Amino acid sequence: MSRRVLVLDGLWYSLCPSFSPLALARANPLLKQRKPSSRPCPPPALRIAAPPRHRCYSNNARKTDAHSQVEDAPTRGGNGASSVLSGSASFPDEHWDNEHDSFEPENHDEEALTPRRKKAINRWPGVPKYAAEKSNDSLETLLQTEMAKKPNITSATHILRTLIRDRGVKPSARHYKALIMANSDALHGSPIFVRNLLEEMEKQGIAADSGTLHAALQALAVHPDFILRQEVLQKLRDRWLTLSPAGWHFVVAGLLREHKFEMALEQAALMQRKDIHVEDWLHSSMIYQLCDLGEMDEVLRLMQVRVSQGNDMTSDLWMHVLRTAIEAQHYMTTRFVWRRMVELGYLHPPTAVCSDVLRVAAGVSDIEIAKSVFRHLARRAISPVLEDYQQLIVANVGVGDLPAAFEVLCTMQEAGLPLDQTTTQPILAYMIHSKTDRRDAWQVLKRLHNEKHVVPLASVRVIAELCEHDAQNDPTVVDDAIGFYNEIHTICPQGADLQVYNALIRMCRTALKREAGIFLVKEMATLDVIPDAGTFETIILMCLDAGNYKSALMYMLDLAKREATVSPKAREEIRSLCARSVNEYALRLQYHPLIQGGDVPTLDDTTETAEEPKLQRNPRPKLGREERIAYNKERRQRKRRRLALERLAAEGKVSSEAMNGLEMEDSEVELDEVDVDEVDEEVEGNSNRSSPSSKTGE
Residue bearing the bigger pLDDT, 663 or 238: 238
Closest CA to 208 of 189, 183, 231: 231
Average pLDDT over residues 170-198: 89
DSSP letters, 52-76, are PSS----SGGGSS-HHHHHHHHHHH
Closest CA to 54 of 83, 81, 79: 83
Within 8 A by CB and 6+ apart from 32, the residues are none
93-97, 295-299, 332-336, 359-363: segment of lowest average pLDDT: 93-97
Contact present, 506 and 538 (Cβ < 8 Å): yes
Q: What is the tens place of the pLDDT at every residue in 32-44? A: 344 444 444 433 3
pLDDT at 117 (0 to 100): 42
> CA 153, CA 126: separation in Å to the nearest integer?
13
Contact present, 491 and 455 (Cβ < 8 Å): yes
> CA 393, CA 387: separation in Å to the nearest integer?
10
Q: What 3-state DSSP class applies to 670?
A: strand
Q: What 3-state DSSP class applies to 97?
A: coil
130-134, 145-149, 228-232: segment of lowest average pLDDT: 130-134
Residue bearing the bigger pLDDT, 306 or 164: 306
Alpha helices for 562-684 (secondary structure H):
568-578, 584-590, 593-596, 625-650, 676-683
Q: What is the tens place of the pLDDT at every residue in 394-427? A: 999 999 999 999 999 999 999 999 998 899 999 9
Closest CA to 373 of 326, 414, 407: 326
Work out the angle between the directed axes of helices 421-434 and 402-415 (0-180°, nearest 10): 170
Within 8 A by CB and 6+ apart from 611, the residues are 662, 663
Q: Answer yes or no: is pLDDT of 658 > 60.
A: no
Bridging pattern class, strands 694-695 and 670-671: antiparallel
> CA 656, CA 261: separation in Å to the nearest integer?
92
- Domain boundaries in the chain? 383-529, 643-695
Q: What is the tens place of the pLDDT at every residue in 69-99? A: 333 333 333 344 444 554 333 333 333 333 3
Percentage of the chain exceeding pLDDT 90: 46
